Structure 1
Amino acid sequence: MAPSPLCYFHPSSLIQRPKKRKEHHLSSPASSSMQFLPSLFLLCFLLLFFRAKSDELQILLNLKTSLQKSNSNVFDSWDSNKPFCEFLGITCNSDKSVKEIELSKQNLAGVLPLESICQLQSLDKLSFGYNFLHGTITNDLNNCSKLLYLDLGNNFFTGPFPDISSLSQLQHLYLNQSGFRGGFPWKSLQNMTGLVTLSVGDNPFDRATFPNEVVKLSKLNWLYLTSCSIEGTIPEEIGNLTELINLELSNNYLSGEIPSQIVKLRNLWQLEIFNNSLTGKLPVWFRNLTKLENFDASANHLEGDLSELRFLTNLVSLQLFENELSGEIPAEFGEFKKLVNVSLYQNQLTGSLPPKIGSWTNFGFIDVSENHLTGPIPPDMCKKGTMTRLLMLQNNLTGEIPSSYANCTTLVRFRVNKNQLSGKVPAGIWGLPIANIIDIEMNQFEGPVTSDIGNAKALSQLLLGNNRLSGELPEEISKATSLVTIKLNDNLFSGKIPEKIGELKHLGSLHLENNMLSGTIPDSLGSCYSLTDMNMAHNSLSGGVPSTLGHLPTLNSLNLSQNEISGHIPGSLSSLRLSLLDLSHNRLSGPIPQSLSIEAYNGSFTGNTGLCSQTISYFQRCSPKSGVSKDVRTLILCFAVGSMILLASLAWFFHLKRREKYHGRSLREESWDLKSFHVLTFTEDEILDSIKQENLIGKGGSGHVYKVALANGKELAVKHIWTTNSTSLKKSRSTTPILGKDTGKSKEFDAEVETLSSIRHVNVVKLYCSITSEDSSLLVYEYMPNGSLWDRLHTSGKMELDWQIRYEIAVGAAKGLEYLHHGCDRPVIHRDVKSSNILLDEFCKPRIADFGLAKMVQANGGKDSTQVIAGTHGYIAPEYGYTHKVNEKSDVYSYGVVLLELVSGKRPIEPEFGDNKDIVDWVSSKLKTKESVLSIVDSRVPEALKEDAVKVLRIAVLCTARLPTKRPTMRSVVQMLEEAEPCKLVSLVVSKDGAINKRKEVIETEKFNPDQ
């Protein structure tokens, strides 16, 4: 800052230019000038002071200008006519200079003018955390050498973080989740000997070994290095940081053992080292960390017992899941007065749970699933009425469910499946008001489901299969209106299916097989528009197949076999696209509908001697009169029904006439809006003229598809989606869910346009344009002459896919999904990955298609959640069944099923897999010996190439791991597939980040664990 020019005048200049006036006092010129010196110096000081204040004001006003477009009212008080020390977020020192700028959590957006801000000479605190700031930072911080506190965390910056060696006085540095990437300047920290807080986690930095500079910062009490790409071992010198109260190193690439010197950190309040590759036992004298309240070392490879934790009486939260820990849970845990959260699932723990565990305080949750625990469920974990989750799946627990949990109204999840529990379920359990899952499958429970179930208003999953439950299903089950999944299979239930079950509008999966149910199948099930999977096999059901089932728009699996169902097969079933249909071993009669007489449904109708068919050879041929009853009353009934249909048809005559104009050339009469996403070589009229019956090539779940041959010889595919608001069509099998006029276009249309219009990838189907009117919409795609992968693998004999082509399809489809997950500005989750949505061009190069269910990840990083299970039976990831959470790992699972199809040649659901089993279960059952693994490979694959196919099989098994965290990313899948070249006996193992580690291990491995 330059001083005022006046301050450069020498006193002698006053002598040379005296004022021309008569002096009243006689004095020498020199003595006269000396009298003015104090005044002059004061004037200079004042000029400098006000100039400095003016500069500081201008710096703050520049900051306001840079960020004033933000959705924030923080700058309302920043008025140039007010003292800047009164600005909101500004603190001044005694000299009225800016000392602190505290503008965190103010919804600020824009580029931060740091170079200007650092000109504030007295600034020692700069806090802009939790905003929406972006842009890069180069060396703009060099002039902020007096900073004691710097917070730029939780923003959206880009580029690397600069060298900050000049900030030697810094005490607090917060950069967590700021968006910085590249190499972090760890060496900048070596002069910051006063650093107390170092929080730089949750940034995509380049891989680096554990920085030695950090363990030399002896005054640190808060160290947050989670998710910042640190690898190698944790150095023993970590024990030098004896002031630490918080140490977080989670979600990195750390390996080796927990250093023994960590026991010197006696002030630790929190230790988080989860999701690394740490090995070995807990260090001896870990018991010294008596102030530890939160300990999370989950998702590592730790072994040994928990004896060192017996002395940590201040523990509040203990998370050690997904390790290799063994031995008993210390009895002392039952006396811990502060313990509220315990998560020890997926270990090898034995013995019983401490009876008093969780009984002392406001206990929150326990998850000890997938261990070898025995004994009873502790009775008092909900003693204080605060417990939310009780998860004890897959152990050897015995005894009854303690009656105390019937009053635990805070429970959200109650899961005890795959144990040896017995007795009656306390009635209150059925009616827990906010529980969203009750899972007691695979135990020995007896007794009925009581009417309390009507109080379970939040219940979405009712999983009771494989027990000895009996009695009739209560009518009150229809009042549990949030139910998505009902699995009551393999019990002793009897009586009728409640007629009002159709009131469960969110119901997606209904399993009642292997019981003693009787009566008819309720017609009301036709109102369960979200139903995707229904199995009532092996009961004593009678009556007919309700025609209303044909109106279910998402149903793709229907099994009514082994009952006493009679009558005709409703023609309405022809409109369904079922991956599994089984009506075998009933008393059905009459003709099999022509559209169901296809190879895909072979075996679906056996054991019905009264059926006939014109095309299926092992059924009798239908006579002209077959299917027509000779009973006069039936004729009268048919006449009455026909009359009713005629009246209804007349009522809708004008509506139907209105729809007719959308066929053929009459489409031109509408007003259309064309939006192009590529350079077009065709006109709107060419497309409209081709939407007619003779060009129809498919009826998908979200629209009719037409083939359009252009005059220039190019071929296109056009999907036609109706958006009418006709309520009368809601109960018909439409090509897309019907929406009212107020909702505009269909959700499928919006999803496809939003997703595909911005995507440019060789393995994603190209959307040329959309053409929309008030009542319907057209999507114009590139045409795929070889149809879908499903057609080529399962229903068509036109083209045999050799292994090389299958491998190339696998790689191409993986690259398409990789682009969706990792290459877009906002990751796209497809949600319906399956072989029928992988289309093949003339060279059998794959394209990912059908984005009607696609979701983009929200900008804030949140994931979509839905109460309707999206996807197709056989491809749906298991976590849909209990979380309804949608993320990229769900797509990975579905893609893994596609890989299994490519390797085995089998469909996702086959009768040979067994009841309630799919291709993933079938493959898992064969991963024991070399011979059984090789037997999975399609017999059409030559013997010399089967080991190459097994390499892809290994990747498929990783993709279909039950736990989403065990699945690789699609980026890793592509890398693994490219590594899976012929003649290389290399197994591929995915590390926590999805990186690939090669291990020399041939296929003769004794065990093949899909979760490793």
Structure 2
Amino acid sequence: MALRIQFFLLVFSFKLLATAATTSVEDYTILKILMSEWQNTPPNWVGTDPCGDNSLASMGLRGLLPSDIVSLTELQILDLSNNGGLKGNIPQQIGSLAMLSTLILLGCSFSGQIPNSIGNLTQLRHLSLNANSFSGSIPPWIGNMKNLYWLDLTDNILTGTIPVSNGTIPGLDWLVNTRHFHFGENQLTGTIPAQLFSSKMKLIHVLFDNNKLTGGIPSTLGLVTTLEVVRFDRNSLNGTVPSNLNNLTRVQELYLSNNQLTGPISDLTGMNTLFYLDMSNNSFNASSVPLWTSSLQSLTALVMENTNLQGEVPSSLFSLPQLQTVDLSNNQLNGTLNIGSSPSSQLQLIDLHNNSITYITLGGAFSIKLVLVGNPVCKQSALSTYCTSATSNANYSTPSNNCLDPICSSNKTSSPNCSCAYPYAGTLVFRAPSFLVLNGSSYYHQLEGYLMAYYFNSLPVDSVSLSDPMRDSSDYLHVSLKVFPSGQDSFNRTAVSAIGFILSKTFGPFSFIALPYLHFADSSVESSKSSNTGIVIGEAVGGTLLVLLVIIVSIYALRQKRRAERFTEHSHPFASWDLTTWSGSIPKLKGARRFSFKELKKCTNNFSDANEIGSGGYGKVYRGSLLTGQLLAIKRAQQGSMQGGNEFKNEIELLSRVHHKNLVSLVGFCFEQGEQMLVYEYIPNGTLKDCLSGKSGIRLDWMRRLKIALGSARGLAYLHELANPPIIHRDVKTTNILLDEHLNAKVSDFGLSKPKENPDKDRVTTQVKGTMGYMDREYYMTQQLTEKSDVYSFGVVLLELLTARKPIEKGKHIVCEVKTAMDKTKNLYSLYEILDPVIASGASLGGLENFVDLAMHCVEESGVDRPTMGEVVKEIENIMQLAGLNPNAESASTSASYEEYGGGFPSSKLEPK
């Protein structure tokens, strides 16, 4: 078929892209059938060829999904989301769409059974049928979808049991590569089969909340060590909680509430990334508050209402550094409540209503919301403040950006930038919100910033606003979202399509339910631009989607600001340092010389502009020369630098104890007269970024790029595997890889690096920092930092070595660009058009295909699928041998061999064979 069709939707898009100049007669006929079946189709579908601009986003489409659609055999993406007027059954012939990779019918009104033939879609990676009225059982044939990444059947009326394989019949247990099981808000019955889970699975989210499941929680759940979110709440589960549940050390949110679980409360010691735990309304054996709760250092919310707790509440619980909410209401807790002298600075709510507490001890100023109504202690009139019911203040609305709201007419709304417009609106529904308190404006303000920066940065969006946060009866968090157009008072169809598609592909246990958009921009203007719209929006959607995949916004990121505030060291990073002993007696600073300000001022000629060799958010870098002739690079923090103090202390402590030929050496530091300066060895050929961009005038051939890749990989492998304790760099990028006089790579800039004080722990919980385009979404979403975050960033560096492109250009991410261009059946994977001309026009590119494979392996979406840096080093060594190089040979060439010659780049281009 000459036509390649993609239906882009979530927020209801329908986009047809042709690979040939004209639409085939067969495809044209099918599209005409769709026109006749659906109401409210775009005005430009009235013409003779409906393939010009077919965005159907948020227009309230009405009608049925005709079986004729299965004749579009090249269809790859079918996304009809949020068209509430689309109803009826999914055609039984849906399995004929063999090329389909994405099927999103979120927020429609489809009903009936999900056809068994859907299991024939073996290329499918994303299946979202949530928020419809599908009934009947879950087809076991879904188990045939071996490539499925996302499976979402939430909020339907599905019944029957959870299907697992039986002989030749498949089941959900066959989906070992799937990351998301979303089955909440249905009417599923029966037990959770032990066979459903195994150690082979790569599941991240298991959501079976709000069903009618019975029986116990299978112990096989503890085998799926990749899990991060588990929801079995609001069922009729019984029996004991498996004792091996604490094997799930990556789980961040665990919901077991509102069941009939019995026996002792399981020991969850070791679940050090757990920040939300809800075990309320079960029938556990009477016991005291488990002591292991005080060991969960990442815990933000502990909810154990009505769980037969008794005795006193341990005061150590309230000092957990991240703790925000404690709900131990409706138990038999008694004795004295001792909050302790230093409760968590994050703590906002302690709800202990309906217990038997007789005394309380409060230390110092107490501003925490404490609820004691229904306790004997409330007989004391002095405590009346604490003896009222808990209230939830969820009144948040995005404030204006230092402007006066205008009076808007014609149903328009004022944006945060005080412009009247028709916003694209809907509701964000978080199925596993990471915090209980709804009145923290910082959460929502930060979410607004991330939506603008990472979702809509390449689209015609002026601003976004959030309002009316609330929790429903299923404990889902609902937040109203409005997206405002830029430069005009309404969006056109293609812009709404792009925004909707981006929001439909988010990677967390949440979804976006949109309202119909009824105020599209002038259709005549759109029609005049129809010939170019497909290209422009294709670029916008593709690039922005990849940015989303790399840097995903989720509610987890909103905890960062609050987390950072608790570290008072940020404002006084040197408070505990004894400067009188800095001469070398402190082991952490061994080998780092202390320079005087006067000495560095002299060797840089009073920090003259002529000696400035770089600058950044930290400050400026100067070249300096000692009397001995030794060249230095001196990084001087700008006055009032917000993060300079931390980075200064961090980099000194780290660099003074790591020594490797592929790491920049720290010579010393200066900390006097209000100055913070780091003194490094001088690296003459600047950054890898400058070489790839042509700024430095140095040309890097293929062989040299392989050596640079190997050197920088060895430096990072040393940090991960040989440093004591191991160090995660956290800001790997081409501007932080320097080249010496022989063009050997040296990794630099350890200001954001994070040591792993406990090497046995997989992850470090930390505030997200790094550079946009290099950060993987897993780190960004979870705030759980691992060595694999550096591996992802290094994969981006490898792609820059191939293409000499920035990680993000014109809204397109380099990972997406390479994936789109790759064809493994052709020579050099058919990457001729995106290779850097410097290497594309040069000598043989031996090992290039293996190099591309390695880079793409490094940027896998899930960290567990990426190699270690040690494995990366070995693979690059193998690639160099394929290219005829000795990976252990020292370079004897200098930068002069690679300087750009007169006449510029050759005009010839490597052609496919």
TM-score by length of 2: 0.39
Q: Which of the two has higher C-alpha Rg?
A: 1
Higher relative contact order (CA 8 A, sep 6+): 2
TM-score by length of 1: 0.36
